[in-house]
Amino acid sequence: MAIVVNLDVMMAKRKTSLSELADKVGITQANLSILKTGKAKAVRFATLDSICKALDCTPGDILEYIEIENDEE
Amino acid sequence: MKKGAVITTSAAVVVCALILLGTSIAAPALARIFADFRMLSPRVETVILIAYYVCTIPAFGALWCLWRLLKNIRMEEPFKRENMTLMGIVSYCCIMVAAVTLWAGFYYMPMWFIMGVMLFTFLIVRVVRGCFICAMHIKEENSLTI
């Protein structure tokens, strides 16, 4: 997927651990870990809203689009 | 699927298995009675008996798979990968019976009716399996929606 999740970068900047962020956001550590490692298929706006509030950032700080070069092009 | 329906269906599978076992034991006698009633030749009687015994193997296989499938549904895991495999096996069992009845039909034509039914059942099971595979993918995607 071309969407990269930079949650770990933001967590390091805010010096927040996974368990702390999970408590603040209201989701399980397991789910947060799935998001952090880029295995998530989709994120709800409500979850993104909670994460941005908890880390005092914008969605663009967490989600990044990296264009994948297509061999056919 | 409601719990009562699952239990009823599981009981039906057990009953079918018992009937199959009983007819397997009584098959030679039943074949003789049928052949006498329909005035069939000994050759046709033998073909029917062989076809029946060969078909009991995929029949028991299909019943076993259905039992496992219902067990997974009772455990509230209908969209497990194992269930897709089990449904695939059930469909192949139907095709095996269709193949055997195709051969037997050359000796006793009404067997082709069973072949037709089995082919139709094969199609239904494959389509239902396809639906379950889609549902499984949707469920996996939902599980990975944070």
Question: What is the per-residue pLDDT across A30-48, written as a single tens digit (0 to 9) for each?
Answer: 999 999 998 888 899 999 9
Quote the pLDDT of residue B16: 95
DSSP secondary structure letter of residue A41: S
d(CA B142, CA A25): 19
Q: Does B39 touch chain A (CB under 8 A)?
A: no
d(CA B34, CA B112): 17
Which residues of chain B register pLDDT less than 70? 1
Q: Does B139 touch chain A (CB under 8 A)?
A: no
Supply angle C-alpha B68, B72, B81, rounded to 5: 90
Residue A61: count other Cβ atoms within 10 Å of its Cβ. 16
Q: Does B144 touch chain A (CB under 8 A)?
A: yes
Helix (H) / strand (E) element for B21: namely helix B3-38
Would you call A48 helix, strand, or coil by DSSP? helix
What pTM does this model have? 0.75
Q: Chain A closest CA to B140's CA: distance in Å? A: 9
Chain B CA closest to residue A46: B146
User: For residue B144, which residues of chain A lie inside 8 Å, CB to CB?
Assistant: 34, 39-42
Which residues of chain A register pLDDT less than 50? 72-73
Phi, psi of B61 (to 5 degrees): -60, -45
Q: Residue B70's closest CA among B16, B122, B20, B137?
A: B16
Quote the pLDDT of residue B1: 62
Q: Residue B143's closest CA among A30, A4, A58?
A: A30
Strand partners, A63: A5
Strand partners, B94: none
d(CA B63, CA B10): 10
Q: Does B138 touch chain A (CB under 8 A)?
A: no
- CA distance to B3, B56, B70, B145, per residue, from B78 (Å): 13, 27, 8, 20
d(CA B15, CA B23): 12
Kindly state the tokens that stand for A71.
Answer: 């061999």
Q: Does B146 touch chain A (CB under 8 A)?
A: yes
Cβ distance A43 to B144 less than 8 Å, yes or no, reads: no
Instruction: Give me the total of CB pairs closer than 8 Å, taking one residue from chain A and one from chain B.
Output: 23
Quote the pLDDT of residue B8: 92
